Structure 1
Amino acid sequence: MTTYREVFADGEFRALFAANAAVVAGMTMQMLALSALVYASTGSPLLAALAYLGGYLPLAIGALTLLSLADRVRPRAFLAAWDGVRALAAITFAVGVLPTWAILAIVMAMGLLEAVAGAVRNALIVDILSTGGFVLGRSTFNVSVGAMQIIGFAVGGTLIAAIGPHPALFAGAAFMVVSAVLTRFGLRRRAPRVAGRAGLRETWHGTRVLWRDPAIRALLLALWLPNGIIVGAEAMYVPYAGSSAGILFIAAALGMLAGDVVVGRWVPPGRLDRLITPLQTLLAVPYLIFVFHPGTWLAAGAVAVASFGFAAALGLQRRLLDAMPEELRGQGLGLDSSGRMTLQAIGAFAVGSLAEAFGPAAAMTGAAVGSLLIVALLWRPLRRTGIVAFGHPAPSAVS
C-alpha cells in the first residue's frame, strides 16, 4: 500500500481509525481537564504533570505482567469493553466528589490494562493492512492523533476557560462511548492470535525473547527515551503558560501532524532510515529557546517545529516490526507503546521535579539538553545493530 486512498478503502480500517480518533480526543480532553483541576486545587507543577501523564507510569507494570493477553484476547470485545470502562472513569472524575489522591490513584490503576489495549490496537493495524501497509497505516493513526489532539485541546480548553474542567470531563466520556460503538459494530470478530492461557510466565518469556535481541533492544530504547523526555517538557505547558497552555498544546499537535503526513506519505523507507537521528535531534533543539522565557506565540512556534521530529518513530517502528517474531507481534508492539508511555510519565515526573526547584522554563530547557545527550548515546548502538542513523546502512542491516 502506497497511498492513503488504498488504506482507507478497507472499511474495517476506517472503523478502527475513527474509534482511535475518538479515544484520542476523549483522552486529550480528560488529561487537560485533570491537569487544570489538580493544578488549580494544589498549585503544584509536579502533581499537575502527574495528572496529565500519571496513567502512563503503571504501563511498565502492565507490560511486564499482563502483556501476553494482547495476543490471547478477542480484539473487538476487549477494546469495546475497555472504552466503556474509560468512559465510566471520566464520568466519575467529572462528578467532582473525589479528592486529588483518589483521582491520581484511579488514573494510575487504569494504566495497567492500557498497556494491553494499546498492544491490541496496534496489532490490529497489521492484521487489517498486512505488514506492507503498516507504516502508512501507522502514519494515518499518528496524523489522527495530531488532529484529534487539536480538537481535544481546543474543545477542552474552551470548556475549561468558560465553565471549568468538569464539563470537559463529561465531553471526554462521550468520545469514549463513541469509540466503543464504532469498535463493536465496525470491526469483525477475530479469534485470539495465540491459543492458551495468558499470565506472568508467558509475558516474561515473550519479553525476554524480545529484549535479548540486540536490534530490538536498540530500537525500543530509541523509541522510548528521547520522546519520553520531550513529552515530559510538554507536561509543563500548563505551569508555563497558564490559561494560554492550549495554544502550546495545539502547536505541538500541529507539528506532529505535519511530520507524520510529510514523512509517512512522501519519504521512501531507505531515506527515512537515514533521517531517524536528524529527526530526533530536531525534536529537542527548539526547546532550548525556553532558557530565554519566550512569549506564548514564540514558544508555540518552537514546539511546533520540535514536534515534527516525532516522525522519527515511523522509521523505528518499521524496523521493529521487521525484527519481531510474528507470534510475538502483539506483545512486541505493546512493549513499544507501553514503554514509550511509561518513559513519558517518568519524563513528566523528572521534568516536573526540576520545575518545582527551578521553574518550568528551566526544566523544559534541561529536558532538551537531556534528550540531545540520549540521542547522541544511542547513535552507536543503532549503527552497530545495522539500523541506519546518519550515513549509509551498515552491512548487517535488518531487512
Structure 2
Amino acid sequence: MPERTARYRDVLAVGEFRVLWLAQLQSRMGDQFARVALALLVFDRTGSAAVTALVYAMSLLPPLITAPLLAGIADRHSRRTVMTVTELIRAALSALMIIPAVPLPILALLVLLVTCPQPLFSAARTATTPQVLPGRLFPVGQAIMSGTDNIAQILGFTLGGALVAATGSPHLAIAVNTLTFALSALMLRTGLGPHLPDHDGVAEERTRSGFALAGIRYVAGDRRLLGLAALTWLFGCFVVPEALAAPYAAQIGAGQAAVGWLMAADVIGAAVGMLLVARLGPTARRRLTVPLTVATGVPLVLTLTAPSLPVTVALWALSGLFGSYMVLAQTSFIESVPDGMRGRAIGFAAAGLQTAQGLGMALAGLLASALSPAIAVAACGAVGAAAGLAIGLHARIGRDPATDRGPAPAATTVGNLA
C-alpha cells in the first residue's frame, strides 16, 4: 500500500500547533524588525560600519555558546513554562532597549543578553512539536514551520526597514519586537499544554555538567544521528550567496538594485521547496535526503562563469529549492532522538549549524576577496555537494534504520556515557 501522508489542513487543524506556529512566526518577524533597527541606530550614533557590524553580530553569536549549555533546561521542566519564561525575559530586556538615552555600551550588552536565551526557546519549541503532532503529522508541520520561517524573515527585514524609514525612529521597531515577545508568551501560556519531557528509556547523568553535555555525547555516539546533524551543518556552504550578493552583483555589473533579488532568491526557493517536500512519505524522505543535499550545491557550481542576473537568480533559487533537504534531515534527526533528550540534542545541532553558517560566510568572503565572488560561490557549492555525498555514504543515510542498525550505538543510554 502507498504510504499515507498528512494534509496541510490536518496539521493546521491542531490547535496547539497553530499556537506554536503563530507565536514563532510573529516573534521571528519582530526579531528582524529589531535587527534592522539596531543596525540603523548604531550606525546613526557612531558612523562606523565596523561597530555596526559588531553589534549586529552580537545578535547572532551568543547561541554558539548558550545553545548546548541552556538547551538542557528544556529536558528538565515543562516546555510550556520554559518557552513562556524565556519570552518574558526577552521582552523585559528588549523593553530596556527602547529607552533613547541608553548608552551604546549598555545597548550592546542588552543585545547580547536578549539573544542568549533564544536557543532555549527554540529547543523547547522544537522538542514540543513532535508531541503536538504525532506520527505522520510531524513532518508536514516541520515543513510548514521551516517554510514560513523564511517568509517571516523576508517580511521582517522588509517591513522593519520600511517602518524605520517612514517614522525615522528605530526605537519604534524595537518596541514592536518587544511586543511580539510578550504576545508570544501570552499565546503559549494560554494555548498550550504543559508538555513535560518524557524520560522513559533515558538514564540521566546526575551532575549538572554531565546533564548539559549529554546531548553532545548522545549525538556523537550514533553515526546516523551525527551524519544527519552534519548534513544540516553543510548549509554553511550553501548559504554563502546571501553573504556575497553585493560583491557578486558588482562583479556581473548588475548594480545595487540587483542585490535584493540575489539575497532573496535562495530564500524564496527554500520556502517553495520546504512546502513541496512536506507531503513526502517516510521512505521518500529518507531516500531523498542525501541526493537533495548534493543537488543543492550543483546550481552554485554553475555560477562559476558569473552568468547574467536572471540566470544567477534562477540558479540560486533552484539551489534554495533543493535546500529543502534541511527539513528532511532535521525531521529525521528529531524523530530519532528520545523525547527526554531532544532539547539537548537539538541545542547541540543548532549550535553547530550557526557556527557552520558563520564560518562559511567568513571563509567565502576571504575567498571572494582573493579570487572572485563567482569562484567563491562555486567552490562552496562544490565542497558542500561532495561533503554531502561522503557523509551520506559514511552514515548510511537513506537506508531504513529499522533494518540497518548494526551494533548498538555507544550513546543509546546516556548514563553509560561517562
Structures share a fold, TM > 0.5? yes
Question: Computing the radius of gyration over CA atoms, which structure comes out larger, 1 or 2?
Answer: 2
Secondary structure at the counterpart of residue 135 of structure 1: helix
Is residue 259 from structure 1 mapped to residue 267 from structure 2 by the alignment? no
Change (3 A) 1:82 1:293: farther
Return closer, same or farther for 1:193/1:394 CA change in 2, 3 Å cut-off: closer
Aligned position for 1:11: 15
Larger deviation, residues 240-249 vs 179-188: 240-249
- Which string of whole-angstrom CA distances, capped at 9 and with x for unpartnered residues, describes residues 344-381 of structure 1? 233344445556x459xx45752442243133124233
Task: Say whether 1:28 aligns with 2:32.
Answer: yes
Q: CA deviation at 1:108?
A: 4.0
Tell me the equivalent position of 1:68: 72
- Matching of residues 71-220 of structure 1 within 5 Å: 71-95=75-99, 97=101, 103-164=107-168, 166=170, 167-194=172-199, 199-220=208-229
Query: Contact (CA 8 Å) 2:131, 2:195: kept in 1 or not?
Result: no
Aligned position for 1:385: 395
8 Å CA contact retained: 1:223, 1:340: yes
Larger deviation, residues 1-10 vs 110-119: 110-119
TM-score w.r.t. length of structure 1: 0.82
Distance, in Å, in 2 between the alignment partners of 1:383 and 1:346 is: 24
CA distance in 2, matches of 1:197, 1:260: 40
1:235, 1:348 within 8 Å by CA — same for their partners in 2?
Answer: yes
Give CA-to-partner distance per residue, 1:248-306, whole Å, 9 cap, x none: 454443222101111112x33323333334433443444453873865x6655444332
Distance (Å, rounded) in 1 between the aligned partners of 2:205 and 2:101: 42
Cα pair 1:55 1:345 within 8 Å, conserved:
no
Unpaired segments of 5 or more residues in structure 1? none
Give the distance between the partners of 2:38 and 2:83, measured in 1 at CA.
23
Report the CA distance shift for 1:153/1:130 in structure 2 as closer, same or farther (over 3 A): same
| Deviation of the 1:93 alpha carbon | 4.2
2:61 to 57, 63, 80: 57
Between the aligned partners of 1:309 and 1:223, the Cα distance in structure 2 is: 13
State which drifts further: 48-57 or 122-131. 48-57
CA distance in 2, matches of 1:37, 1:301: 35
Maintained 8 Å contact 1:28/1:152:
yes
Check the 8 A contact 1:57/1:346 in 2, yes or no: no
Partner secondary structure for residue 66 of structure 1:
helix
Distance in 1 of aligned mates of 2:194 and 2:87: 17
Letter in 1 for 2:267: A
Within 5 Å, give how 1:346-357 maps onto structure 2. Answer: 346-351=359-364, 357=369
Structure 2 portions without partners, runs of 5+ = 250-254, 407-418
Q: Give the partner amino acid of 1:119.
A: A
Identity of aligned residues (%): 24
Q: Does the 8 Å contact 1:32/1:156 carry over to 2?
A: yes
Aligned partners of 1:146, 1:308: CA distance in 2, in Å? 12
Q: TM-score, normalized by length of structure 2? A: 0.78
Per-residue displacement from partner, 1:59-79 (whole Å, max 9, x unpaired)? 232233233212112222221
Q: Distance in 2 between matches of 1:209 and 1:100?
A: 41
* Cα 1:283/1:42, change in 2 over 3 Å: farther
Structure 2 residue matching 1:387: 3-state secondary structure = coil
1:176 Cα deviation from its structure 2 partner: 2.5
Give the whole-Å Cα distance in 1 for the aligned partners of 2:243 and 2:53: 5
Question: Which secondary structure state, in structure 1, belongs to the residue aligned with residue 117 of structure 2?
Answer: helix
Equivalenced residue count is 389
Displacement of 1:245 in angstroms is 5.1
Are 1:227 and 2:231 counterparts? no
After superposition, the Cα gap between the structure-2 partners of 1:197 and 1:248, relative to the gap in structure 1 and judged at 3 Å, is farther
